[in-house]
Amino acid sequence: MYNEIDLNKIDLAAEPPAEEPSRQYYFMAKCRERVREFEQTYGRRPTACVTTFGCQMNARDSEKLRGILEQAGYQEAETEEADFVIYNTCTVRENANNKVYGRLGSLGARKKKHPQMKIALCGCMMQEPTVVEKLKASYGFVDLIFGTHNIYKFAELLYLALENQGMVIDLWEDTDRIVEDLPVERKYSFKSGVNIMFGCNNFCSYCIVPYVRGRERSRSHKDIVKEIRGLVSDGVSEVMLLGQNVNSYGKNLPEPITFAQLLKELEKIEGLKRIRFMTSHPKDLSQELIDTMAASEKICRHLHLPLQSGSSRILKEMNRRYTREQYLELVGRIRAAMPEIAITTDIIVGFPGETEEDFQETMDVVRKVQYDSAFTFIYSKRTGTPAAAMEDQVPEEVIKARFDRLLAEVQQIAARKAEALTGQVQTLLVEEVNRQDASLVSGRLGNNSVVHIPGDASMIGTYVRVQLDECKGFYYYGKAV
Ligand code: 5AD
Ligand code: SF4
């Protein structure tokens, strides 16, 4: 693991090593030299702030960025009033991009007053050529831009940005590389995300992810097991396995292995108590996985199973490769094997050509499945995706009205489902002291529901049997029993 490498022992007079990850450790040590110079000039350590937009993949990537910044000698800043600010961006919907431009404007104003400040941008949005053109034209104060495929090179790029005055840009179109064993600074001591695969091959017609995250690549199961063993010995008891489509894990490895087989391997790790994963694509969710989950003591009773639409016609246009009937049949099998499982979903409203009848079919699936919660999205046109060129884009006000109806339905069902668990005793992993009321601690049940109970910071990271006394729609108040 990375902590076996002592940065002080790296010969900085030598040429940088060609192989990874040694090369990046060399540049971490180089950055440290610059950081020391900063300390001498300003009489304090430089501060760094990593701001994350988007999904759990990005959150995990940001932990890697923080790990490298820490090794380089930066002190973590709580706010963007820092010497180094990096935005790890998302581009899945247009409003994600707009948020970045908005905040970048204020960051630029701050840099005018603090010229020593460095600003970096990385993540999915940077993989779009039009974005980079816009940044070059109107946001010349940005010091460093890189993308999703070369994030492992952050130490090297940071060093270049510290050495140079202009804008450093390094963007790759794709990669088949996975670099292991770089430092990570985890947000929580007791739980962690673990990437099991990168990229996506599905090309759902509305989605930009395959274009910005590249082709599907799985990590070897040995590397995953090794990482999780290391995490467990470091105090982690819950992992969230991350991939755009975890159900197709392992298909392209030299020795193919299924996702269910990987889960069985992980189940054996002593000290690991909870295993979660996301995201599952319904078309690839196997009976083997259902059986493995049902037989498991550790895999949480929660499945995030994006529906996107309940209309088979729209699903076809979306290139989802399942029908409404197949989806419902799958949910039936999952529920038959695990009646207590929580099922959550993603739904898009207003895909091109969506009629009132199509929308009614979505509402109907929502009522039939009875989701424990659902993320609902207004369709966002992403340039370069097949759906962006489709005729028959649905008018905004029609989408908005449908969205409101869907949201009301989803919320009503979710509240009813949550209410049904009131009075039960379940196991809670305590995650943090409640932000509003310091006499409470908050955590999650296996099914991912949030519960607040009386307690203190000493309980963080522990598992407590709790009674769910009062349901508040999306969360519970309870007590230890
Ligand atoms: N518009 C709206 N929602 C989208 N998603 C992906 N692409 C789009 C888009 N163009 C949603 C999907 C996916 C979730 C992560 O984001 O529902 O499951
Ligand atoms: Fe996008 Fe579909 Fe891949 Fe999910 S499975 S990332 S929605 S293309």
pLDDT one-digit tens code per residue, 165-189: 899 999 999 999 999 899 999 999 9
CA of 92 to the centre of ligand 1 (A): 6
Mention every residue, 6+ apart, whose C-beta is less than 8 A from residue 276. 238, 239, 240, 241, 299, 300, 302, 448
Closest CA to 128 of 90, 81, 181, 161: 90
The pLDDT value recorded for residue 1 is 45
d(CA 49, CA 66) in angstroms, rounded, equals: 8
Q: Which ligand is nearest to the CA of 351?
A: 1
Closest CA to 232 of 196, 197, 267: 267
The pLDDT value recorded for residue 5 is 76
Closest CA to 459 of 434, 423, 426: 434
CA of 206 to the centre of ligand 2 (A): 9
Radius of gyration of the chain (CA): 23
Ligand 2 neighbours by CB, cut-off 6 Å: 200, 202-204, 207, 209-210, 244-245, 281
246, 279 in Cβ contact below 8 A? yes
pLDDT one-digit tens code per residue, 459-475: 999 999 999 999 998 89
Six-digit token string for 44: 């304090």
Strands 463-471 and 475-480: antiparallel
Angle 195-249-388 from CA coordinates, rounded to 5°:
85
Under-70 pLDDT residues of the chain: 1-4
User: Which atom of ligand 2 is nearest to 210's Cα?
Assistant: 8
Q: What is the pTM of this model?
A: 0.95
Six-digit token string for 425: 């005793």
> Is 304 near ligand 1, meaning CB less than 6 Å away?
no
CA of 427 to the centre of ligand 2 (A): 32
The pLDDT value recorded for residue 4 is 59
> Is 346 near ligand 1, meaning CB less than 6 Å away?
yes
Residue of the CA atom closest to atom 6 of ligand 1 = 207
Residue of the CA atom closest to atom 2 of ligand 2 = 204
Strands 440-445 and 191-195: unpaired
